[in-house]
Each structure stands twice: as C-alpha cells, then as structure tokens.
Amino acid sequence: MGIVGTGLRALGVASILFTAFAPGAGAAPYVPTDDAVVLERLPERGDPKLRELKRMRVALAASPRNLDVAASVARRAITASRETGDPRFLGQAQAALSPWWTLSDAPPVVVLLRATIRQSQHDFDGALADLDKLLMANPRAAQARLTRATVLTVVGRFAEAQSDCRQLVSAAPPLVVAGCLAPPTSLSGGAEGAYAGLVQALETPGTDTGTIEWALTLAAEIAQRRGDPVAAERHFVAALALDPSDPYLKGAYADFLLDSSRPHDVLPLLAADTKNDALLLRLVLAEQQLPDQREAFVAHRSEMAARFDAARRRGDSLHRREEARFRLAVEADSRGALTLARDNWKVQREPADLRVLIDAARAANNAPTLRLASDWIAQTHLEDKALLAALAGL
Amino acid sequence: MIRALTMVFALLLAGGATAHKASDAYLTIERNGPSLQGQWDIALRDLDNAIGLDVNGDGEITWGELKARRVEIDAYAFGRLRIASAGETCPLTVSDRLADSHTDGAYAVLKFAGSCPQSGPTLTIDYRLFRGVDPQHRGLLNFVESGASRSVVFSEETPVWVVGGDSAGPLSQFATYVHEGIWHIWLGFDHVLFLLSLLLPAVLVRRDRHWQPGGSFRSAFIEVAKVVTAFTLAHSITLSLAALGVVSLPSRWVESAIALSVVLAALNNLFPVVANGRWIAAFAFGLLHGFGFAGALKDLGLPTGSLALSLAGFNVGVEIGQLAIVALFLPLAYALRATWGYRRLLLGGGSAAIAAVAAVWFAERAFDFPLFIAWASGP
C-alpha cells in the first residue's frame, strides 16, 4: 500500500511533466582519452574555508548527532552558499541538521539555522513559523528578530518588520538597528529618513567591515531608488572596496549600471562570475546592448537558457524573478515573462520583483497587472523613481 | 554579540542572490518487454561529496581518479535504485562508464541494462540516491516506452514513482488492466474457492436440517445474483479505498483473514449457521477480499498519470472473471442439484476439502510457516 499511497500523494505535486526531454543539456557522453584529463574542479580548490568545511563534514559523519559540530557545519555551509551563490551548500547545511530537521521541539540553534535555510529556498512561511516560535520562547533573541524583520520585508509586511527592528535598539549596535530599519522604512514612504539614519549610523565608528559593507549596500540601493545616482555610485564603490566578491552587492551594482545605461562597466565587474546564475543574467543583459560583445552574448544567452531549463526540470521556482527578466529582455517573450513575474509576485515583494512585474505587464499590455502594481505603490507609498517611470511608460 | 549578528546579516543576504543549480541526477530508463536499458548521469561533485573521488586531495577530479573509484560508485548508486515489475526486483548491471558535462559541471555517466523476471504493465521505481547526504537532491527520470516518454522527479518527499502502463493510449491501458483483473481472480484460488463455497448451496434450500434441491432456476439465479452482487460491491469498495491510499492494512493480516474466510464459508456448508442470508456473509468477507485484490494491484503498479482508469479496468476484469465462473457453475449445479453426488460429494466432500486447504493456507500465512509448496497461491 505504501508504494501506491506515495505515488498518489505525489499526484498533486506539479512535478509530473509529460513533455519529453533530451537527457540533459550535455553533449554526447564520451570516454576521456587520458587518465590525467581533469573533469571537474571542486569549489574548495584554492579556498581554505571550503576545505575546512569539507574536513568538518568528515568529522560530522563520524558523529552525526553532535549538535555543536552539526550547527557549525550548517553555519559554514550557509555562509559558503552565500559567498559562492551555490545552492548545493544549502543541501549540505540541511543534511547536517537532519537529525533535528523535522522535530517540532528542535534546539533553538537548529530552528534558527532551519529558518535561514528555508528563507533561502523561498519557503518564507516556513521560515516565519520557525522564527515566531523562537521569539515566542525568547523575545530577546536578537538574531531571530533580525532574521524575521528581513523575511517580513521580503514578503512586503513592512510595519511588522519595522516593529521587530525597533525591538533591537537595546540589543544591537546602532548601525545594525539602522540597517534593519532601512529596507522596510524606505519601502513604505520613509526613504528620506531611513537613508539619513543609515548615513548617520555609518559615520559612527566601531563596527566591523561586514556590517559596514552591508549598510553601504542598503544605502546605495535607497539612493538609487530616490533618484540620486551620484550618492548610489559612491556607496556601491565604497562597499565593493570592503568586499569585492559579495555576489549580492555585485548584482545590485550591476543593476544600477544597467539602469544608468553603462553596460560596458558591467563586463569587468562580472567577467569572473559566470557560474552564478543571477550574475550571468546581468552579464547577458549588458552584452545584449553591446555590439562588440555579440559572440559572448550568444554563448551566454544559450547557457542561461539551459540553466533555467535545468532548474525548471527539477521543479525549482527560485529563479522566477531572474527568468522573467531573461524572457522579457533577452527572449522578447512578454507573455511568458508576465506569467513568471506574476507567480513570483505572489511570493516575493521586493522592488526588483515589482520592477519586472511592471516591465512585463507593460510589454504584454496587461492593464489589470499594471493596476495591481500601481495600487501596491499607492498603498505602500513606495518611493522608486525608476519604477514610477516604468509604470508611467517612460 | 556584534560578531554573532554579523553572521546573521551574511546569512540574510543569501536569499537575494540565488544562483547555480542544486544537486540533480539524470536518469533515463527505456523499457522493451522484459528488458531495460538505462543511463544515469551523476554529478562528480555530488559523488565526491558522498563517497570521495578526489583521492589525492588536490581539488581536481581526473578521469583516472573516477575510474579508480568505479566499483564504489556502482555499489553506491545501484544500492540506491530499485526497479521492480509485478513486485519482483529487476536486477541491473552496469555496461559502460563514461563522462559528460551538464550546465553545472562534469558528470559520471553509467550505462546499464536489466531484465525483469516478472512482466507487468508498470515499473515501480524506488530512488534514494544521496539520501542523508543532500536532502535537496532530485532525480530527474525520463522513462521511454513504445516511442513515448514521460518525466518524473524523485525527491526526498517522493522517492517512489510508478511509471509505464499508460504509454500505449488509454484504451489499451484499460484493456491491460481488465486482462490482469481476470487472470488475478482465476489464478487467485482463494477467491474462487470462497465464491464456490458460497455458491454451492445456492441451488439448494435448507429444510428440516437437511439440504433439499431448490425449486425453480429463477430462485437459484436470484440467490446466486444476491451473493455475487454483495461480494462484488464489498470488494470494489475496499479495493478502491486501499488502491487510493485511504485505508491500508498489513498484507499478512489481510491474507490470513482471507484464508480464514474461506475456511468459515466452507464449514458453513457442513454445519450451517448462516443458511439463507449468505449474501450478508458474502458482503462482510468481500470487504476483506478487496484488500487482497488491492495487494495484487499494488504489485502490478498503477500508472500515476491515469490511476482511475487502471483501477476501474482491474475491477472490471475481476468481475468478468467472476461472472465467467458463475456462468459455468450455475447451469451445471442446477442440473445436478437433485443428485446424491451433488449434495454429498460436491457440497459435503467439496466443502470439507476446501476447508482443509484453506486451513493450511491460514496456518502458512498467519504463522509464516510453509507447510507444503503451495500449488495455489493467494494474490
């Protein structure tokens, strides 16, 4: 019965695809001519932190129920996924926590890491449920509060996010509080104050580089939305000086450059990041505008399409925002882009999500979606010059 | 505190820039009658993660290193893939080992072949590659048969899929399951004997503690129709409930109880307790037999894409098989009903023999003890 039951439950899952597909995007399988041929370079090559993670995973395999080692492996793996943009590390993080993953009374350290992994997989409801539980048990858990504020911002629940940030005042340094408040405040009608608070907190010395880089990125994004490209550029450059390899920062800066009609400047920024899907997308968008990059554009475009295809086949919906942008700008498929952008908007409510929704709706001439977008802007008092211009069809 | 918080900021930004692909493996299985041909592409990074490929620890995987680990790779991968047809595992052997690249890097390519000892309309595939190593891993299956192909995705939540049986179009699929249903009731002697035990007295009436020949063919027919209808209704209900996963009973319990129901039905002919309400017994025990049919159907496998059609076909097949038995039985029994041979030899001796055989089945099934090599098997 078990087997039939499993198959039946799975019927509801949208993972049954009736279309035929070729066995992967690879060329024909081959037998390498020489034993010395290098087939794969592992990510830990030349990265001591990833080698250390691998060693720790070996240690964890020997005692998988050691909570300290497991939490440490999970934390390092999550950090690795952020630094490399590689979701395989999220799988490793989840595997490290597997003895506690499904427990309703998992230890707090596991619940916090689980919430972070869930958030990275866009399971925002699951992440919020974990964080609610942590904060119910311990209202002073600063990390949980900060994480929840971020998740609430991503799903567009700005007032609740701000309330979480305010409760951090006595528990965290001023720059952390300002950085927590800046996104939800700036996205709900308080951009000027949020920006000023951030700039002021940045002038106070004594915070570590990681936090400063993060705050500078936030300041750059707010300045960009407020239509102050000079300040945005200054903050982006300062942030990149602190961490030239942060993929999130590079993506945000590339978007700024694309919006500022500076596609040439995107090339050196992202030349070495083609393994990262989100960054490859920006590179493709830049190359598309540059006649002398024709060859690179053609190659990167088909690579990008193959990756979206691979993600779709495994049932991933993590790339909808990026894929909508790709379909719209590169493939000129406004209807496909609109479907993706609308599905994405049901889950994520960041300005980038709204931007692709508006662009796709305008291209597809879809009035109801444009109305939905303008209602959202009116309701949240979102300040974003580029968005308003897109909505007005400029 | 600041250090700890900083760590979280780092984590928080992770959601903003999703990239790369998580772990996938690509599995192609082509079925041609009992023989299987397959190809399995598994990422070298994932294999390294699970069993270690980078023997010299230089962060590079060469073809030589991959070849050196081929025995371990075969054992690891094929220890986590089970293909079964009609409840029997189809053994698989690796025929070739190659390399290929996909969008996220290099893959080991394992070509394999297999053969299924039992034929059936479907294949049940149980896929657990990288279980415990990467919960985000997905197995992307492309199943090819009769020129048609379909795709399913294995994950930690759905490690088992039933494929096939629906590639030849709905009509032929329905026919396949009707056929399976007919053969199931004809070869499932316990169902036949149960039915016969209930039908043997249908052409008789119980009067003065003795069996007497019944009157008209009409009344015998009505009696048979009541028993058969009750049995059909009951087992259709439980067959559907069990096949749809609503109710599930342990198969040893079900099989033992079915054997016991045959014993009781036969004994009732020798020492009647229920004489004229046999349709009630047919209904009550029919519920049990439905679970037995469901067990057989589980071994055949139901194609996930068109489950209702196959279930209906199997049920129709069971009814056709059953009606064929009745059509043979009723005229013969009616003609012989007044003879000594029918009442003594068939009803008396037959019922005693049925009770004895079923008692042996019961002992075997309930206590898992093979008394003799069963010439008759349950479902």
* Per-residue pLDDT reduced to its tens digit, A228-287: 999 999 999 999 999 998 899 999 999 999 999 999 999 999 998 888 889 999 999 999
Instruction: Determine the Cα–Cα distance for residues A147 and A135; give it in Å rounded to an integer.
Output: 11
Entry field: residues in chain B: 379
H or E element, residue B101: strand B92-102
Q: What is the DSSP letter of B66?
A: H
Give me B182's structure tokens.
Answer: 């007919």
Give the closest of A7, A31, A86 to B302, CB-based.
A7
ipTM field: 0.81
Count other Cβ atoms within 10 Å, centred on residue A69: 18
Give the closest of B54, B63, B103 to A42, CB-based.
B54
R_g of chain B, CA atoms, integer Å:
28
Q: What percentage of chain B reaches a pLDDT higher than 70?
A: 88
Q: Does the distance separating the beta carbons of B46 and A8 come in below 8 Å?
A: no
Do residues B324 and B228 touch, judged by C-beta distance below 8 A? no
Residue B334 has pLDDT above 90, yes or no: no
Binning pLDDT at 50, 70 and 90, where does residue B191 land? confident
Do residues B321 and B186 touch, judged by C-beta distance below 8 A? yes
Query: Highest mean pLDDT range out of A71-75, A274-278, B100-104, B342-346?
Result: A71-75
A336 in B contact zone (CB under 8 Å): no
B112 in A contact zone (CB under 8 Å): no
Residues of A with Cβ-Cβ distance to B6 under 8 angstroms: 208, 210-211
Q: What pLDDT, on a 0 to 100 scale, did the predictor assign at position B20?
A: 65
Do residues B205 and B253 touch, judged by C-beta distance below 8 A? no
Q: What pLDDT, on a 0 to 100 scale, did the predictor assign at position B372?
A: 52
| A window 68-97, beta carbon within 8 A of B | 75, 78-79, 81-82, 84-88, 90-92, 94-95
H or E element, residue B126: strand B123-127
Task: Render pLDDT for A145-176 as a digit per residue (tens, 0 to 9).
Answer: 999 999 999 999 999 999 999 999 988 889 99
Give me A274's structure tokens.
Answer: 């083609």
Q: What pLDDT, on a 0 to 100 scale, did the predictor assign at position A42?
A: 92
Q: What pLDDT, on a 0 to 100 scale, did the predictor assign at position B345?
A: 85
- Residues forming beta bridges with residue B207, ordered by sequence position: B210
Q: What pLDDT, on a 0 to 100 scale, did the predictor assign at position A8?
A: 30
Do residues A24 and B311 touch, judged by C-beta distance below 8 A? no
Count other Cβ atoms within 10 Å, centred on residue A190: 19
Give me B130's structure tokens.
Answer: 């990288």
Residue B219 has pLDDT above 90, yes or no: no
Residue scoring higher pLDDT (B298 or A38): A38
- Residues forming beta bridges with residue B161, ordered by sequence position: B125
Q: What percentage of chain A reaches a pLDDT higher than 90?
A: 77
The CA-based dihedral angle spanning residues A183, A187, A188, A194, taken in that order and rounded to the nearest 10 degrees: 50
Q: Which of A88-102, A103-117, B140-154, B362-376 has the lowest mean pLDDT?
A: B362-376
Q: What pLDDT, on a 0 to 100 scale, did the predictor assign at position B14?
A: 39
Q: What pLDDT, on a 0 to 100 scale, did the predictor assign at position A260?
A: 95
Residue scoring higher pLDDT (A317 or B287): B287
Q: Does the distance separating the beta carbons of A18 and B150 come in below 8 Å?
A: yes
For residue A156, CA distances in Å to A227, A353, A382 come to: 22, 11, 11
Q: Is A170 helix (H, G, I), strand (E, B) or coil?
A: coil
C-alpha A1: how far from chain center: 41
When pLDDT is averaged across residues A104-109 and rounded to a whole number, the result is 93
Q: What pLDDT, on a 0 to 100 scale, did the predictor assign at position B192?
A: 86
Residue A82 has pLDDT above 90, yes or no: no
In sign, the C-alpha dihedral spanning A197, A200, A202, A206 is negative
Q: Measure the N-to-C terminal CA separation of chain A; round to a whole number of Å.
A: 60
H or E element, residue A201: helix A191-203
Instruction: Determine the Cα–Cα distance for residues A203 and A262; give it in Å rounded to an integer.
Output: 30
| A window 140-179, beta carbon within 8 A of B | 142-143, 146-147, 150, 154, 171-173, 176, 179
Give me B185's structure tokens.
Answer: 């009731």
Give the closest of B18, B66, B133 to A319, CB-based.
B18
A155 Cβ contact list (under 8 Å, min separation 6):
A124, A347, A348, A349
Q: Measure the N-to-C terminal CA separation of chain B; round to a whole number of Å.
A: 65
Entry field: residues in chain A: 394
Q: What pLDDT, on a 0 to 100 scale, did the predictor assign at position B166?
A: 64
Instruction: Determine the Cα–Cα distance for residues B64 and A112; give it in Å rounded to an integer.
Output: 42
Closest by Cα among A376, A307, A310, A386 to A348? A376
Residue B5 has pLDDT above 50, yes or no: no
Q: What pLDDT, on a 0 to 100 scale, did the predictor assign at position A18?
A: 31
Q: Is A123 exposed, middle or buried (0-12, 13-18, 19+ CB in 10 A)?
A: middle
Task: Render pLDDT for A192-230 as a digit per residue (tens, 0 to 9).
Answer: 999 999 999 999 877 788 899 999 999 999 999 999 999
Count of H-run helices and E-run strands, chain B: 12, 13
Instruction: Determine the Cα–Cα distance for residues A339 and A332; give it in Å rounded to an integer.
Output: 14
Instruction: Determine the Cα–Cα distance for residues A212 and A191; give it in Å rounded to an integer.
Output: 19
Chain A to chain B Cβ contacts (< 8 Å)? 307
List the single residue in B with minimal CA-CA distance to A144. Answer: B8
Instruction: Determine the Cα–Cα distance for residues A115 and A259; give it in Å rounded to an integer.
Output: 33
A20 in B contact zone (CB under 8 Å): yes
Q: What pLDDT, on a 0 to 100 scale, did the predictor assign at position A7?
A: 32
Q: What percentage of chain B reaches a pLDDT higher than 90?
A: 29
Instruction: Determine the Cα–Cα distance for residues A223 and A199; give it in Å rounded to an integer.
Output: 11
Do residues B244 and B291 touch, judged by C-beta distance below 8 A? no
Do residues A130 and A115 touch, judged by C-beta distance below 8 A? yes
Mean predicted lDDT score pLDDT of chain A:
89
Task: Render pLDDT for B40-73 as a digit per residue (tens, 0 to 9).
Answer: 999 999 999 999 999 888 999 999 999 999 999 9
Q: Does the distance separating the beta carbons of A20 and B142 come in below 8 Å?
A: yes
When pLDDT is averaged across residues A4-14 and rounded to a whole number, the result is 31
B79 in A contact zone (CB under 8 Å): no
Instruction: Determine the Cα–Cα distance for residues B142 and B149; give it in Å rounded to an integer.
Output: 7
Phi-psi region of A20 (alpha: psi -120 to 50; beta: other; left: phi over 0): beta
| A window 29-48, beta carbon within 8 A of B | 29-32, 34-46
When pLDDT is averaged across residues A104-115 and rounded to a whole number, the result is 95
Instruction: Determine the Cα–Cα distance for residues A280 and B151; give it in Å rounded to an integer.
Output: 28
Residue scoring higher pLDDT (A52 or B209): A52
Residues of B with Cβ-Cβ distance to A315 under 8 angstroms: 138, 153, 155
Q: What pLDDT, on a 0 to 100 scale, did the predictor assign at position B6?
A: 44
Residue B19 has pLDDT above 80, yes or no: no
**What are the DSSP E strand ranges found in chain A?**
38-41
Q: Which of A265-274, B5-14, B304-313, B368-377 has the lowest mean pLDDT?
A: B5-14
Count other Cβ atoms within 10 Å, centred on residue B312: 16
Q: What is the DSSP letter of B348?
A: I
Q: What are phi and psi of B364, to 5 degrees?
A: -60, -45
Task: Render pLDDT for B160-179 as a digit per residue (tens, 0 to 9).
Answer: 988 887 656 677 778 878 88
Q: What pLDDT, on a 0 to 100 scale, did the predictor assign at position A68?
A: 95
Instruction: Determine the Cα–Cα distance for residues B11 and B15; give it in Å rounded to an integer.
Output: 8
Q: Does the distance separating the beta carbons of A6 and B160 come in below 8 Å?
A: yes
Q: What pLDDT, on a 0 to 100 scale, did the predictor assign at position A120?
A: 87
Instruction: Determine the Cα–Cα distance for residues A271 and A286; give it in Å rounded to an integer.
Output: 11
Do residues B321 and B182 touch, judged by C-beta distance below 8 A? yes
Q: What pLDDT, on a 0 to 100 scale, did the predictor assign at position B167?
A: 58
Task: Render pLDDT for B115-132 as a digit per residue (tens, 0 to 9).
Answer: 999 888 889 999 999 998
When pLDDT is averaged across residues A290-315 and rounded to a whole number, the result is 91
Q: What pLDDT, on a 0 to 100 scale, did the predictor assign at position B18?
A: 43
Q: What pLDDT, on a 0 to 100 scale, did the predictor assign at position A20?
A: 32
Which own/partner pairs from B368-377 qualify as long-range (CB within 8 Å, at least 24 positions apart)? B368/B252, B376/B189, B376/B190, B377/B187, B377/B188, B377/B189
Do residues B61 and A38 touch, judged by C-beta distance below 8 A? yes
Please name the residue that has the structure tokens 């066995």: A23
Q: What pLDDT, on a 0 to 100 scale, did the predictor assign at position B21?
A: 75
Q: What pLDDT, on a 0 to 100 scale, did the predictor assign at position B130?
A: 95
Q: What pLDDT, on a 0 to 100 scale, did the predictor assign at position A72?
A: 96
Count other Cβ atoms within 10 Å, centred on residue A312: 14
When pLDDT is averaged across residues B84-112 and rounded to a whole number, the result is 92
Q: What are phi and psi of B273, to 5 degrees?
A: -110, -50
Q: What percentage of chain A reaches a pLDDT higher than 70?
A: 93
Residue B213, amino acid: P
Q: What are phi and psi of A156, to 5 degrees?
A: 85, 15
Give the closest of A40, A247, A276 to B105, CB-based.
A40
Residue A13 has pLDDT above 70, yes or no: no
Give me A10's structure tokens.
Answer: 């799975």
Q: Does the distance separating the beta carbons of B103 and A25 come in below 8 Å?
A: yes
H or E element, residue B89: strand B88-89
Do residues B72 and B65 touch, judged by C-beta distance below 8 A? no
Task: Render pLDDT for B266-290 as a digit per residue (tens, 0 to 9).
Answer: 888 888 776 667 888 889 999 998 8
Q: Is B40 exposed, middle or buried (0-12, 13-18, 19+ CB in 10 A)?
A: buried
Residue scoring higher pLDDT (B4 or B61): B61
Q: Is B379 exposed, middle or buried (0-12, 13-18, 19+ CB in 10 A)?
A: buried
Do residues A178 and A190 touch, judged by C-beta distance below 8 A? no
Residue B238 has pLDDT above 70, yes or no: yes
